[in-house]
Structure 1
Amino acid sequence: MRRVRSAPRPGWKQIIESQGLVYGSPGVDTNGRPRPYWDESVHYEFDMDEILALEAQVEVLHTMCLHAIDNIILTERLADFGLPQWSWEHITNSWKRSDPHIYGRFDLRYDGRGPAKLLEYNADTPTSLLEASIVQWHWLTDLHPDDDQWNSLHEKLVERWGEMRDVLPSTQLHFTWSGADGSGEDNVTTAYMQETAAEAGFDTIALPIEEVGFDTELERFVDLAEAPIESIFKLYPWEWALDDDFGKRITQSLPSTMWIEPLWKTMLSNKALLAVLWEMYPGHPNLLPAYLDDPHELTEYIRKPKLGREGANMTIVGPGMETATGGVYGEEGFVYQMLDPLPEFDGMRPVLGAWIVGDTSAGLGIRETVGLITDDTSTFVPHRIPQS
């Protein structure tokens, strides 16, 4: 793993915008100056052996997470996840039905010298997808056409949607996101997922979640044309949906209306999962010690809200590393994970976003920050695998 400087393509900004990357707040460089969200003046190089090892580790982690769900349900510990009690039965039933899932993103600490360490699993509403799948692939083919990249995201998403045609009730599929997202990222990401489903043969319809209707007489969800919604992909967090009566209608609609990602993903996208994994697999080389509601023996740790996003409400405890971020999360409780600082490359700290589609490893995206916490000031940078 190496960080390499290189010349950006002439007109790179117009190129990435034409590919859909029209969002992203500026990052910050090591001198505190603004840095574009997409930065192709640097990239990371990996050896193929590294990538093959990482692919295997990601699939092992995914399998461990699925086993953790069985453990959570068997030991009846959904109370540890800060989710409303009325939702527990619905979450359990979603898992027992094997409600279908599409994708997820592991955030990993990796320095090229030892095993990757799981920081969290974005299993419900992962973003930075377009960057990882489309934008960095075109960067590679434009500048390094003879090299490779850990990136089969687009092909695997189309293939996965194709598998869903035998599972979902019809070939009509709705797509929704929150219109309250002013950045446009959720809208563009949802549109990209819609494109991959259409390529797989679905008849797709998009509408903001604020415009998803409910027919109280027939007790079913409907779109703006009053047509019934039988299957719907949502880029809207389950914990937000479960926070009001809308979420109760969603859970009661299952499985006649199939929501993707499925309700059982609430257990994987919650940072309480980190503590469950450590209990089940203590000492595993891809895990860091993690505990619920108390740091136990840890003297250097990061405290994470169970339902936090974008690095919000995190606190780092460690000599000379004390850091805290603001936000609106934390009422649901915290997880304490051993602090293993992100490695430094030229003063920047990369986090690896390793994608899984279905149950298969599918690609890599890298975000960099100056600080120890990867937040909304991060910058996305591409990667390649040089051919020797």
Structure 2
Amino acid sequence: MRRILLKPRRDWLAKAEAVGFTWHHADGARYWDERACYAFTLAQVEDHIEAAAQELHQMCLALVGEVAGSEALMARLAIPEGARDLVAASWTAKEPSLYGRFDFGYDGAAPPKLYEYNADTPTSIYEAAVFQWLWLEDRIADGTFAADTDQFNSLYEKLVARFRGIFPAGGFVHFASDADHAEDRQTVRFLEDVAAQAGLEPKFVAVKDIGLDADGRFVDAEDYLIGAIFKLYPWEEIFRDDYAGEIAGSKARFIEPAWKAVLSNKGLLPLLWERHAGHPNLLEAYFDDDPKAAGLGRSYVRKPLFSREGANVELYDNGRRGRVLDQGYGAEGWVRQALSPPPRFGANYPVVGAWMIGDEPAGMGVREDRGRITRDRSRFVPHVILG
């Protein structure tokens, strides 16, 4: 694993705009950053990253089955009592999943270590699936890389196939997000395009415009019935919304399904450790109120059960707490995870995101930051496979 410095393409910004990649900067700072790339060997990708994602995915599915049958475990994960039957029923019905992203600390030598699983509402799928591939094609064309240079990236093709697998008869599917959040809206727009390639008819609805008709069915702003919906809106918030009690009777099919609430919860980390202590791809982890948590000593990471993009994550290094991005998370509980910072390349700390499409590893993206916690403004850096 290497970080290679590169001169950006002169027209990269125009190319980004031309294909709808509009969130290439955040508050004036680069989000997409092609001044460097990360190079991996094929063995690192296949034997480490891909293999870890596949094995962890199976471990996660086994855990969902256990949690779905346990009131105590659902309570431990702060899943509201009124939502527990919904979670269990979605698992029993084998409701299908579209995608998820494991975030790993990985230095190219030691086994990847799981930081968390973005299993419900992961973003960065467009830049991973499309824009970094277009970047590679350009860099091959201009001679930066040899013609046989590759990426770990079959995301677009597998997304199309997965949509077809979930909806074999085609049909009408709603797509929902916050319409005013640029990254979320563009992520959903990309998935609408993928769904159309799979033969579906996508229709966008802003989350705030979803309503309920007289028969208890969800409808959009134009009163079209919502029979199936992809929602870039986390289950932990849906469970606490006004319409939470109407979900079971709505007959709507949700992507991601309600059982994904088990895996998008940071409580997944201590539950996996409890069942697979010492696994090479796991970090030691406990619920914050577990007496065993003290055994992590003065160096650990404290995470809320629910948070986004590094918000409210507390990093303790020999007792000293790093800077915290406080966005009000933590009321439902916390976990502690052994401190294992990402590797350092110069002034940069990369985190490898390994994507699952359905049950298959399908690609990866690398995000880096000057700090040891990946946040919403951390840069996306493309990758290549060399050797």
- TM over 0.5, yes or no? yes
Work out the CA distance in 2 between the residues paired with 1:351 and 1:100.
Answer: 27
Aligned pairs for 1:158-169 (under 5 A) are 158-166=160-168
Work out the CA distance in 2 between the residues paired with 1:332 and 1:218.
Answer: 33
The match for 1:208 is 206
Aligned pairs for 1:293-332 (under 5 A) are 293-294=288-289, 295-299=293-297, 300-319=299-318, 322-323=321-322, 324-332=324-332
2:132 counterpart letter in structure 1: Q
1:228 counterpart letter in structure 2: L
Work out the CA distance in 1 between the residues paired with 2:319 and 2:265.
Answer: 29
1:194 counterpart letter in structure 2: E
Work out the CA distance in 2 between the residues paired with 1:304 and 1:3.
Answer: 29
Aligned pairs for 1:17-36 (under 5 A) are 17-26=17-26, 35-36=29-30
Report the alpha carbon displacement of residue 322 of structure 1 after superposing the two structures with TM. Answer: 2.2
Say which SS state the counterpart of residue 147 (structure 1) adopts. Answer: coil
The match for 1:174 is 174
Say which SS state the counterpart of residue 296 (structure 2) adopts. Answer: coil
TM-score by length of 1: 0.93
Match of 2:57 among 51, 56, 62: 62
The match for 1:117 is 113
53-62 vs 221-230, which moves further = 221-230
Match of 1:41 among 35, 38, 42: 35
User: Identity of counterpart residues, as a percentage?
Assistant: 43
The match for 1:155 is 157
Say which SS state the counterpart of residue 297 (structure 1) adopts. Answer: helix
**Residues 133 and 152, structure 1, Cα contact 8 Å, conserved in 2:** yes
Work out the CA distance in 2 between the residues paired with 1:158 and 1:377.
Answer: 29
Aligned pairs for 1:41-120 (under 5 A) are 41-53=35-47, 54-76=49-71, 77-120=73-116
Work out the CA distance in 2 between the residues paired with 1:375 and 1:251.
Answer: 34
Say which SS state the counterpart of residue 296 (structure 1) adopts. Answer: helix
Report the alpha carbon displacement of residue 219 of structure 1 after superposing the two structures with TM. Answer: 1.6
Number of residue pairs the alignment of both structures matches: 374
Match of 1:249 among 246, 258, 283: 246
259-268 vs 170-179, which moves further = 170-179
Report the alpha carbon displacement of residue 123 of structure 1 after superposing the two structures with TM. Answer: 0.5
Query: Which deviations, in whole Å up to 9, do the C-alpha atoms of 1:19-61 show, x marking residues without a partner?
Result: 222115549xxxxxx7511110100001111111111111101
The match for 1:231 is 228
The match for 1:259 is 254
**Residues 133 and 154, structure 1, Cα contact 8 Å, conserved in 2:** yes
Work out the CA distance in 1 between the residues paired with 2:74 and 2:329.
Answer: 18
Which residues of structure 1 form unaligned runs of 5+?
28-33
Query: Which deviations, in whole Å up to 9, do the C-alpha atoms of 1:229-250 show, x marking residues without a partner?
Result: 1101111111111112122222
Query: Which deviations, in whole Å up to 9, do the C-alpha atoms of 1:322-344 show, x marking residues without a partner?
Result: 21331110000001000001110
Work out the CA distance in 1 between the residues paired with 2:207 and 2:338.
Answer: 37
**Residues 172 and 203, structure 1, Cα contact 8 Å, conserved in 2:** yes
Report the alpha carbon displacement of residue 199 of structure 1 after superposing the two structures with TM. Answer: 0.5
The match for 1:284 is 279
1:200 counterpart letter in structure 2: A
Report the alpha carbon displacement of residue 133 of structure 1 after superposing the two structures with TM. Answer: 0.6
The match for 1:384 is 384
